[in-house]
Every structure is written in C-alpha cells, then in structure tokens.
Structure 1
C-alpha cells in the first residue's frame, strides 16, 4: 500500500480525466497535472494504474457521500431526499461515458467489486431508512415491502449498468436511468408523496 501524500479527497479530481481519456488510456502527464503532482511522484505513490483507479473511485464514492449529507440537510422529507438522490445520480451519470462502466467491470474487477460493495453496505441501507421514514410520515404507501423494494431498486441499478441489457452505444444512459427509477419511485408514493414527487419530477 502506498504512503499517501496526495489528500485522498483530491483523487476524485482524476475522474473527469478518466471519463475523457479512458481508464486505461488516460495520460499520466494529464493525471499528474490534474492532481497537482509530478508524474514521478504519481508513479511512486501509485505504481499501477489499477491502484490509482481504485483509490480514485473510492475518493469519488466519498465525494458522493458528502453530497448526500448536504442534500439531507437541505430536504426534510423522505420523498424529497429520494428524488434529490436521483437528481444527483442523473447529474453524475450524464458525465460518465457509456463505455466507462464496461471498462471498469472488465478491466478493474476489484474496484468494480468495491463499488458494488458500497451499493450493498451504504446505498441499500440508505434506501431502507428513507423508505421507513417515508412510510412513517405517510409519504410512501404503508403496504410496500421495504426489503423487497430496496432489492428491486438495487437490482434496477445493476440492470442499468449491465451492458448486455443496455448497450451504451444504443441507449442514452441518462434516459434509461430516468425511465427505470423515476416512474417506479412515484408509484410507491401516497397521494401526498406523489404531489411532492411531481414537483421534483418536473425538474428532472
């Protein structure tokens, strides 16, 4: 494991470089400049591309979590928070080239595994908590099965990222995301929840 001299949070700045040039083909010179270091220091700290990609992805996951904290401070209801999460997801997905997740799955399996582990240990419990809160506040229907709905949403995410189901050269991934999630979430709302959801839905 390298002795980190770069602040871990700053590694998220490498993501736009990977999006633009590709995970395998992003130039070391551009990455070093973006991360405010030298190629030599970058190579010393991250001897392999796999290691750099891994820690950049982990840093980006932490960036997303910080944004979620800010979002939850801004919105109080579960419906608003859930739609806020979807808006952040749509924004992030719009910046990601369609081939990116294919390359991550096939070329960096350990990093892909870490990303999926984050879905199971962070995103899924977060969804369960939102659903619970929404039911208590009569924003979501009381007859929904929280465990099952959470599983469906997580599997919808897996389906979205499966290039065999939605080849990125044939589908606009932002539109797929919208079609998969937004209508489903609106369907589990109560009348009051749907009213609030409609206001946010109009913004997406």
Structure 2
C-alpha cells in the first residue's frame, strides 16, 4: 500500500489498536499490520505518534460522517434520525475504553481540540437542523429553544467525556450516554414524535 493511500480512509483501521493497546502503548508493528503497510512506511509518513494519532482520529471522524449519511438514507423522520445518531454514538462508545478520552485530552491536546472543533462545527449544526426539521414536521415541541437545546446536548457530551465527573473506573460510558441523552430527547417530542420513537424502537 502506498503512503498516499495511507492518508485516506484506511487510517481508521488503526483505531481498534489504539483502543486495545492505548494511544501511547500501541506498537508500531501492530499499527502497521492493521494499516496493511510496513513499519518503515508508517514511520516515514507519520514520524511522531502525535501526528499518527491526529490523522487516525480525523479519519475516524470522517467514518462517522459516512455512517450518518447512511443513517439519513435509512430513516426519513427527524425523530428516528436523532435517535439513530444516539444509537450510533452508543455503538461507538461501547468499544471505547474509559481512559481513551482522558488520555487523548492529556497527551494529545491538538487532537482533542480538533475533536472539540468537530463537535462545534459539525455536530452542533447537525443537531440544529434535525431539531428544525422535527419542529416543522410537528415531531418536536414547537416551544423548544433550538439554540439552547443544541447547546445543552453539546455540553452533555462534554460532561459525559469529563473523567472528573464520570470516572471511567466507576461508570460504564455507554450507560452514561443512554441516561443523559435518551430520556432528554424523549422529553422534547410531541405525542406524534413519541409515537414514532416507540415504533422505531419496536423495529430494532
């Protein structure tokens, strides 16, 4: 595999290795195997672990965006799409070790900042659009403050990722995610939105 190819979507294949072995502890040989390349090729293109982690996380963000595109093609309503996004989040978090985000924040601040920027520039507008769509289709309550609800959702993500608030050795992150988000979203639904949500879960 060429170095140019390594810069593409294939980099996301390194993420499970980082989950299993740690951002600092993962061996170059394991990472090279996952990326179908050699250690010399890997270290030539990414001479530092910081650079490799940064590009792997960016590739995983792009993978998430592709998942969202597929989700939107599958579900037509704003309620189903919003719950679907939550379910994708739960699926991803289920395989993330509790220390991962704490290590990322402490040891790779540039990448952590990029992740926070992704939340602000992609996740927040995405949520605002879904809320708008849901209100227009009378699935979400018309009296909600879209900017405020979006801010609350984003801050709940930050809260969930704060190891001081939810120490990973004491809390299951997937359960924290479910407890923070699922019940909150249900509360902003209209009766029709709640009905669609119930039908959505019945099909799962």
Number of the residue aligned with 2:69: 69
Q: TM-score, normalised on structure 2? A: 0.96
Number of the residue aligned with 1:189: 189
Residue 144 of structure 1: how far off its partner (Å): 0.1
Structure 1 segments, 4+ long, off by >4 Å, are 201-204
Q: Are 1:37 and 2:37 an aligned pair? A: yes
Number of the residue aligned with 1:99: 99
SS at match of 2:10: helix
Q: Distance in 2 between matches of 1:40 and 1:200?
A: 49
Q: Distance in 1 between matches of 2:50 and 2:202?
A: 40
Deviations 1:149-186 (A, max 9, x none): 00000000000000000000000000000000000000
Deviations 1:37-88 (A, max 9, x none): 0001100000000000000000000000001001001111000000000010
Structure 1 regions of 5+ residues with no counterpart? Answer: none
Q: TM-score, normalised on structure 1? A: 0.96
RMSD of Structure 2 on Structure 1 (CA): 1.2
Kindly indicate whether the alpha-carbon contact (under 8 Å) linking 1:182 and 1:201 is maintained by their aligned counterparts in 2.
Answer: no
Q: How many residues matched?
A: 202
Q: Distance in 2 between matches of 1:101 and 1:83?
A: 23
Q: Are 1:60 and 2:60 an aligned pair? A: yes
SS at match of 1:98: coil
Residue 200 of structure 1: how far off its partner (Å): 3.6
Q: Distance in 2 between matches of 1:53 and 1:7?
A: 12
Number of the residue aligned with 1:126: 126
Residue 102 of structure 1: how far off its partner (Å): 0.4
Structure 2 regions of 5+ residues with no counterpart? Answer: none
Residue 138 of structure 1: how far off its partner (Å): 0.3
